[in-house]
Amino acid sequence: MLRPEIQPARIVNRGIRKILPRSLLGRSLLMILLPLVLLLAVALQIFYGSHLDVVSRRLSGAVAGEIGYTLEMLRRFPDPADREWILSKANSEFDLAMTIEPDAMLPDMPQTNILGPMDDDLAISLRDRTGMPFVADWLSDSRNVLISVQLPQGGVLKVVSARKRLYAGTIYIFVLWIVGMAAVLFVIAALFMRNQVRGIRRLASAAEAFGRGRDIGPIKPEGATEVRQAASAFNRMQERVRRFLVQRTEMLAGVSHDLRTPLTRLRLALAMMPAREDLVSEMTADVEEMERMVSGYLAFARGEGTEQAEPVNLSAVLEEVAAGARRSGAEVAVDVPEALTLSLRADAVRRAITNLVDNARRHAHRVALAAMRQGRMVFVTVDDDGPGIPPDRRESVFRPFESDSSGGTGLGLTIARDIVRAHGGEIVLEDSPLGGLRARIRLPV
């Protein structure tokens, strides 16, 4: 039982695994993207959070100080002539357009926030430097900031300040430069990484095809040194496996040839011994059993031949197998779609299904052959109404020359499983709806 403190951690880990990409290319790009994003965040925080904040406070303090100085001069010299002179000097020296609207009141404007610290810094500076009610309008004019300050003697001081005096415009250039360079570096890294992953994908596809019995020949080593070494090792392994299969086929063919010669002589000698018919019949049965075993050897050798996979209509193959079984006197029902095309070694698959149908018709009266596609898999079933095989003995019948459901021996089921597995599939034995045994073949599309 899991401890309570471990369960949330496992739940979080599972959630993270679901979000993370599963492909090598995706994970490699993620390893490149995360440092880039972290670098951007640190750079923006250092520049935007410290440097820009300091610059913004100083610029806002300068503008607020100039407005505060002007207000103080207006308070000290309230004469209208002095007021005009003060406003004129403020406009020329401070580069601020200042006017006074007598008997005016501050407009009732909602407080708005803009991107950046400029508006907050200006509000704090005006509050500290003037100590009077004010309103700052950042939205009415795209180039200027409109500041209104309520005067104690009545009226409103209108101040027009250029926006460039309140923030540093280099922030946009800085952000665009960092984001642009990061995007360029990410694209270059993605292109290089895709070329590296291409060799691994090709190696995986070649291994999958070779595991399904498709001879696509040696693959071209490409990519990094390690990927080239893996491709070269795969080519050598592929050649060794082919050489082993050829040697085994030649060996089995030689053994079968050597065994058939004495078997023929024995059959001829038995035919010339009419004295003991009971003994002769038993010996003849033994010779026939040995011939059947030799035929199994030959069939097994043919199953590992040089046939190449190609697109095959599996439905037509099943119909051919059923027609052959009917010619032998079996009752075979077929339920298959009109066209079911797969990349198969046609003769090998025909031999495997024929072995299953022959095994079924030897022990049953009715045989049903069906096929259907589910997603990326095709299922072929062979059902019969025979005695079946106990579940604890179903795996043993796939061993070479192991007793099957009728008490005989042979390589039929061994060959069938070997062929199906060579195509990347599997074959299992189950209970049949007809009451006997079901052989279910699973083949990848």
What CATH code is carried by the domain that includes residue 103?
Answer: 3.30.450.300
- Answer yes or no: is 217 within a domain: no
Asked if residue 236 lies in contact with residue 229, where contact means CB atoms within 8 angstroms, the answer is: no
Q: Write the secondary structure of the chain as one string of H (helix), E (strand) and C (coil).
A: CCCCCCHHHHHHHHHHHHHCCCCHHHHHHHHHHHHHHHHHHHHHHHHHHHHHHHHHHHHHHHHHHHHHHHHHHHHHCCCHHHHHHHHHHHHHHCCCEEEEECCCCCCCCCCCCCCCCHHHHHHHHHHHHCCCCEEEECCCCCCEEEEEEECCCCCEEEEEEEHHHCCCCHHHHHHHHHHHHHHHHHHHHHHHHHHHHHHHHHHHHHHHHHHCCCCCCCCCCCCCHHHHHHHHHHHHHHHHHHHHHHHHHHHHHHHHHHHHHHHHHHHHHHHCCCCCHHHHHHHHHHHHHHHHHHHHHHHHHHHCCCCCCEEEEHHHHHHHHHHHHHHCCCEEEEECCCCCEEEECHHHHHHHHHHHHHHHHHHCCEEEEEEEEECCEEEEEEEECCCCCCHHHCCHHHCCCCCCCCCCCCCHHHHHHHHHHHCCCEEEEEECCCCCEEEEEEEEC
pLDDT of 92 above 50: yes
| Confidence tier at 405 by pLDDT (50, 70, 90) | very low
- Answer yes or no: is 388 within a domain: yes
Q: What is the pLDDT of residues 360-369, one digit of tens each?
A: 888 888 889 9
pLDDT of 433 above 60: yes
| Confidence tier at 408 by pLDDT (50, 70, 90) | very low
pLDDT of 286 above 50: yes
- Answer yes or no: is 191 within a domain: no
pLDDT of 3 above 60: no
Pairing relation of β-strands 366-374 and 331-335? parallel
Among 126, 147, 168, the domain boundary falls at 168
Average confidence score pLDDT of the chain: 78
Mean pLDDT for 415-425 is 82
| Confidence tier at 293 by pLDDT (50, 70, 90) | low
As a whole number of angstroms, the distance between CA 427 and CA 412 comes to: 13
Mean pLDDT for 298-319 is 73
- Answer yes or no: is 398 within a domain: yes
Asked if residue 372 lies in contact with residue 443, where contact means CB atoms within 8 angstroms, the answer is: no
Look at residue 390 in the predicted model and tell me its pLDDT.
85
Look at residue 334 in the predicted model and tell me its pLDDT.
87
Look at residue 9 in the predicted model and tell me its pLDDT.
63
What CATH code is carried by the domain that includes residue 427?
Answer: 3.30.565.10
Tokens of 172: 């946009």
pLDDT of 164 above 60: yes
Look at the pTM and tell me if it is higher than 0.85.
no
- Going 292 to 298 to 303 to 304, the CA torsion angle's sign is positive
Contacts by 93-98, CB closer than 8 A, 24 or more apart? 94/66, 94/70, 95/162, 95/165, 96/63, 96/66, 96/67, 96/70, 96/159, 96/160, 96/161, 97/158, 97/159, 97/160, 98/67, 98/70, 98/157, 98/158, 98/159, 98/160
129-133, 195-199, 305-309: which is most confident: 129-133
Look at residue 208 in the predicted model and tell me its pLDDT.
78
Structural domain including 51 reads 25-168
pLDDT of 275 above 60: no
Mean pLDDT for 385-407 is 72
Q: What is the pLDDT of residues 75-90, one digit of tens each?
A: 888 888 888 888 888 8
Pairing relation of β-strands 144-150 and 331-335? unpaired
Q: What is the pLDDT of residues 98-119, one digit of tens each?
A: 888 887 788 777 667 776 677 7
| Confidence tier at 194 by pLDDT (50, 70, 90) | confident
- Please name the amino acid found at residue 68: G
52-56, 211-215, 361-365: which is most confident: 361-365
Range with the lowest mean pLDDT among 103-117, 171-185, 247-261, 324-338? 247-261
Instruction: Specify the higher pLDDT residue, 341 or 269.
Output: 341
Report CA-CA distances (Å) from 87 to 66, 74, 76, 83, 335.
Answer: 11, 9, 13, 6, 100
Q: What is the pLDDT of residues 434-444, one digit of tens each?
A: 888 899 999 88
Look at residue 325 in the predicted model and tell me its pLDDT.
85
Among 119, 137, 168, the domain boundary falls at 168
Q: How many domains does the chain have?
A: 2
Among 148, 168, 188, the domain boundary falls at 168
| Confidence tier at 409 by pLDDT (50, 70, 90) | very low
Mean pLDDT for 30-49 is 76
